Structure 1
């Protein structure tokens, strides 16, 4: 089968379409014929070796974390799905990839594809949907009436997280460029900062939660807009010692991550707020709940561009430019 793979970490990972062996499902896995694969910023970072100590791959490694497709075979222990079922899933952090003609998916990570979405729309959802749910609901404990700041509201995670936060009853603030102000307002954003005109840290205040989605000094600047006992849940780092413990990493990594996050932890403590780093956990049950919201049209996927499978490498290059409004998806059918 064909798959988008990379052969090594570093500046020359040799990303391209290659012929690889068709996978076979283990007892609790599904073999899915992939109709579409959603791209995420981490897909452009993995080949560089950014997460080499954390994510384990065998080379050549298939890229991609999100997929939607049709089950063609099930393992002997599978009970919830059968051949012919349309599913969507995230296979992030499972040692496999999604940008391929076929992919194995643990039954626990899969959910029925929402009936009102086509495969391209469904493939745009898993990582941003699960990340938003786990960050806002699980980690931050978002409550109705609380104020949450979601930077880069027109991006892949932003367009979904704004809608989910509104569903949970939050007051949502975001920042974006002039051209995207109306888009984020249409998704439910209450307070929109045009970053070409104003710095968010000079305008916003009294927020309960910040979803950290921007690298650089944006996380530190976010501290100033939080109310007492506010929370920053970062998706981009710095990594912290709690994350190392969750991963079962040894003392050396716990020490390294503690040092990496020492400054932000100290600054957060001085302001009476908390900081934590979140890594997505594939979860079919959560994805099924998100699917119900999609079917009820409480949330809609926002897609910037769809690339054919033959241009999957170009799709990654386009995503890396950081200008997409919503998600970038590769269509295999």
Structure 2
């Protein structure tokens, strides 16, 4: 099978298309023919070597954490799926990722694709959607009426978070640039703060939940707009526990845990028009396509998810 791998940490030039052995599913796994995958910042951070201590993989590493496709084989103990099912997944952490024509995944981490969704739309959901869900629902325990601040609302996680928060009946404020204003409004945010022209602390206060997707100064300023008893949840760096104690808030870093049941919940939200993936660009499954995708992601300015089309839907 074709796969795009890295054989050393470094720049985009390390991405190489090669022939790689096709995996075979274990008894609790399924074999998925991948029709689409997508790009996340963790891809190029791992490629650069920033995460080599936390994720000490062996080369060659196949990057990628999202997949949508068709089940081609089921393990002996898999009962909830069968060959031909359209599914999507965020597989377990492994050096064998989703930049490949075939992957295996534990059945517990797989869900049926939303009805009427394309493979491209489904591939944009798993990592970003699960991250937003676990930040807002699991960690922050979001409830109706909460005021929620989402940093970088037009990004992959931010765009999912806005919609999930609205589905729970929250009031949502999102940050972004003037170029993101129409997108953020379309996603359902009640208010937008232009971070380029308006200081956060002058625009808002008394927030129940802050989802930090940026870190640094944005995270520091976020403490100042939280009400006592509020929650700051980050996906980029651990918030200061000293500052959290001082402000009387809960703060923490969420590292995504793959979860098929939660993915099925997201699929249901998509079917009920409560959630729609925001697609920034679709690129081909090739060395050049992956290099371009990483380049776009590294700008931090992509509006939504960058998707890689591995196989065209009409070819199934």
**How far apart in 2 are the matches of 1:56 and 1:282?**
18
Q: CA deviation at 1:150?
A: 0.4
CA pair 68-12 structure 1, distance change in 2 beyond 3 A:
closer
Partner Cα separation in structure 1 for residue 12 and residue 291 of structure 2: 14
1:186-225 pair list within 5 angstroms: 186-225=186-225
How many angstroms apart in 1 are the aligned matches of 2:21 and 2:56?
Answer: 19
Aligned residue number for residue 148 of structure 1:
148
CA distance in 1, matches of 2:309, 2:132: 24
Q: Match of 1:291?
A: 267
**How far does the alpha carbon of each residue in 1:192-231 deviate from its partner, in whole angstroms, 9 at most, with x for none?**
1112220222211000111110032211110000000111
Give the count of matched residue pairs: 309
Q: Distance in 1 between matches of 2:101 and 2:18?
A: 11
Residue 37 of structure 2 aligns with which residue? 37
- Per-residue CA deviation, residues 283-324 of structure 1 (Å, 9 max, x unaligned), is 111100110110111111110100010212221121111111
- C-alpha displacement at 1:191, in angstroms? 1.6
The answer as to 2:252 corresponding to 1:276 is yes
| 1:327 has 2:309 as partner | no
1:303 aligns with 2:279: yes
Question: Aligned-pair distance for 1:11?
Answer: 5.4
Within 2, Cα distance between the matches of 1:209 and 1:92? 28
Most deviating of 310-319 and 148-157: 310-319
Q: Which residue of 2 aligns with 1:115?
A: 115
Distance in 2 (CA, whole Å) between partners of 1:217 and 1:197 is 15
User: Secondary structure in 2 aligned to 1:217?
Assistant: helix
Inter-partner Cα distance in structure 2 for 1:12 and 1:40: 14
1-structure distance, mates of 2:197, 2:37: 36
CA contact (8 A) 1:37 1:330 kept: yes
Distance 1:113 1:30, change over 3 A: same
Q: Deviation digits for residues 242-274 of structure 1, max 9, x if unmatched?
A: xxxxxxxxxxxxxxxxxxx6xx11112111112
Question: Conserved in 1, the CA contact under 8 Å of 2:62 and 2:100?
Answer: yes
Does the 8 A contact of 1:66 with 1:92 survive in 2?
A: no
CA distance in 2 between partners of 1:111 and 1:72 (Å): 15
> Are residues 330 and 12 of structure 1, via their aligned partners in 2, closer, same or farther at CA, if it must alter by over 3 Å?
closer
In structure 1, the residue matched to 2:139 is: 139
Instruction: Write the distance in 1 (CA, Å) between the matches of 2:241 and 2:8.
Output: 34
Structure 1 residue 7 displacement after superposition: 1.2
Q: In 2, distance between residues paired with 1:212 and 1:67?
A: 25
CA contact (8 A) 2:210 2:222 kept: yes
Contact 1:7 1:13 in 2 (8 A): no
Query: Secondary structure at 2:14's aligned position in 1?
Result: coil
Distance 1:13 1:106, change over 3 A: farther
- CA separation in 1, counterparts of 2:146 and 2:89? 30
Counterpart in the other structure of 2:290: 312
Q: Distance in 2 between matches of 1:331 and 1:109?
A: 21
Per-residue CA shift, 1:83-109, capped at 9, x if unaligned? 111100012524430111001111010
